[in-house]
Chain A
């Protein structure tokens, strides 16, 4: 480093100085809000919109004792898992195709993946209403073709919520798998083929195992984002299709009960944090970073 500061390139002080702006931002924008929210869980709810800074465990007791919340937590995990698995099943093959194709303009295929992000997420979600609704594209076509006599109930169902989530999350899965595939040394596949493997065997024995970290990273990302979603179930779900995020919204915005809303938020944060930590313990989070930076 410069003689003016007297710091060498390996100086810990330099590392801290470079990391300081990011660390400060993380502390201010992430750690502090979480701590404040955690503190709120011990506040006393007085009436809608009014709470006192008097210590109480009532909010945690309510969460722990009430099966209503547990039911929604399990449902959220289930919907998150189903969404992530569908994304994996549907997303692996496009990723594999993009990786394996000889198409000269591969960048164009990758660009197509991120095109949906140019449109607002809410608008993309709303578009499903015009596809799945009673007078939407699917029902109108089936009715025109005479295949049905009454419109099918496609909208405001759990299936519609999962479809909306898959639509939103699929690019994340494809990018993660693609990045993982890109890291595979192709000579390994050629070696397998030269040793007598069929294409399918080479895929099963070499490509698939080596792409698993990307698949796992995609699964984690899709699960966490699906389980934490609020807008999709709100727009595409019926009264019974709410997820835990909607419970938090209603508690804070509808009941104006911030202490209980904060408690539910911390619960969801801990659940998703636990999943991320467990993944990191076994797979490492670096794969996700690669996927997101693709």
Chain B
């Protein structure tokens, strides 16, 4: 029993250490450094040896000294099997192994004889490894987008694995793609269009949605229940089933290639969710406040403006941010309705760049950064509001 526990402990720990080292090696490779082997066999066996030593020492030595020695041993071993690598690579290995041994420093023979020790160990490692892996997988495409936009065509073809940023070349050279994208590809104009369309959608949606949500939340009228259920159902209809009829109607009315046309469609498609989110919040405002307003002689408009709106600012901001995000990211309708470059939104312009003539990829990625960055900044800055918007509006996506 004990032997089995020790064996699984060593196996899992060493595998975990090796996986962390693998991620580090991939990161190093992506900085353009030549590294072609994970050295699985040697590192794995040496890891098992070190884990066993750690177990044998237990708490006989000062823990900090123990982990430093073990980490140093591991880094030196790695340094000798993989030669000609920069010093920061080995330093990274040292930090990772330090982190790893810090995690297992408390384990000794007693711990392993406890119930489920190996399962606990496994899930503990899985969590750490999972967090690392998830962060890498999520962030790498964004990082790649950014770095590619800083490169030149020649460098990109020379070594596709080199994702280091060369700051030595000076800022104008670094941001060259951005200058070109804004100057030659007219991205300033597209950005303005996107901003106008998104902000316009937010304003018009709120103007339409606030009164309607108030009516649904507070007033009694015939067909109220029917209305509030149909809001959700309408919201579930996707853009793809609307696109052909809207295209035919808009072509005949001459609304294609116009910002007005886009505004109408965006507003209509975001209205149901805006009403749905707002009415839920309005219902939570105590009725007594409004009754006080009525006694003071306010009419409905006064109640909405002077009582409901100031109280529901958080909900309104999350609706506004959510609607802004939808309008900014929207692609299908802008693809269908816009085919003249002077009316393009950012998303449509990037698609046009990709489909059109051979656009160098650094320009494409610079354009992608231009469209992504504003929305990510807004997201990080207003995360609280946007997350509640996402949760409420998540029926769609």
Partners in one complex: no
Contact surface of A with B, Cβ cutoff 8 Å: none
Please give the residue numbers on chain B whose beta carbons come within 8 Å of chain A beta carbons, in ascending order.
Answer: none
